[in-house]
Amino acid sequence: MKDLIIIGGGPAGLTAAIYALRSGLDTLIAEKLSFGGQVINTHEIENFPGFAEPIAGWDLMTAMENQAKRLGVESIFSEVLSIEKEEEIFSIKFANGSLQKSKAVIVCTGASHRKLDIAGEANFTGRGVSYCATCDGAFFKDKIVSVIGGGNTALTESLFLTKFASKVYLIHRRNEFRGSEILQKRIKENDKIVTVLSSIPISIDGSNKVESITVQNTDDNSKRKIETDGVFVLVGISPNSNFLDKSLLNQAGELIVNDKLETSINGLYGAGDLRSNSKRQIITACADGALAAINAYEYVNIQ
């Protein structure tokens, strides 16, 4: 029996573990693969407080992992299949056949960026291919970038990128954007943005880094190569919530939480990119982890 089980070993999960352990909770952290989450694939991070120079995502997450280990966190590396609560105790089933019990649970399994699944995308991730303009936009100062997508996120991030890039190609598979009218108006009025409609990306090309993207017109099947220094794939995200009961999720598959990050089940919390209304930043994931752990401590100690 554990006081707290944390599911997910990214920034939210590791921060939750640090806070829980320091408060005296007997804590287990469960991770499907390895600690660090998506952050370990980020080449450089320059907006995390405390670092005068950019820090590699791997280094930042390794530091968090080592801190949790120094405090004595226990860990299990296996995929979670289900979470059930009975008589105030949570039972968590794992793919390796084990069953763990705890008084409280924090789910921090994050979300996965939807991929294009085209040639070059995986090879150049972190070397020109990004899934977060807010995270990586500043690395493309005075350079040319391309954004893939047509919803509010793609339009908003395209406008954000004009603060840094000299030119932004906005590529969308339909002949009109799906984003709000006000965003579409701003896109049209921005001289730095070049729209490429009715086009789908078919490959991202380069040698050691991104140098161009090839798109195909959906009307006549003609192909066009666009020279670009970076490609931002903004076609949506998928919360990693398949193991959770659908009654706990919103239509987007996000875990619904209140201002204490607690779900409709007492003692079950959500933190980081998985939860509803997440800002999907490393710093906000850490804040979520800390808050969820503090509230879990209070919950465990009033049972």
**Active-site residue, 108 included:** no
CA-CA distance, 134 to 132, in Å (whole number)?
5
Helix (H, G, I), strand (E, B) or coil at 297: helix
CA-CA distance, 242 to 3, in Å (whole number)?
24
**Active-site residue, 135 included:** yes
Q: Enter the DSSP assignment of 20.
A: H
Q: Please tell me which residue in 3, 26, 59, 135 is annotated as part of the active site.
A: 135
| Burial class of residue 302 in the structure, from the number of CB atoms within 10 Å of its CB (0-12 exposed, 13-18 middle, 19+ buried) | exposed
What are the structure tokens assigned to 286, written together? 């850490």
Phi-psi region of 283 (alpha: psi -120 to 50; beta: other; left: phi over 0): alpha
Q: Please tell me which residue in 136, 229, 273, 288 is annotated as part of the active site.
A: 136
CA-CA distance, 149 to 151, in Å (whole number)?
6
CA distances from 49 to 108, 139, 162, 289 (A): 21, 17, 24, 16
* Contact by Cβ (8 Å): 218, 206: no
CA-CA distance, 57 to 117, in Å (whole number)?
23
CA-CA distance, 152 to 199, in Å (whole number)?
18
**Residue showing tokens 């339909």:** 174
**Residue showing tokens 């730095």:** 192
The one-letter amino acid code at 33 reads L
The set of catalytic residues is: 132, 135-136
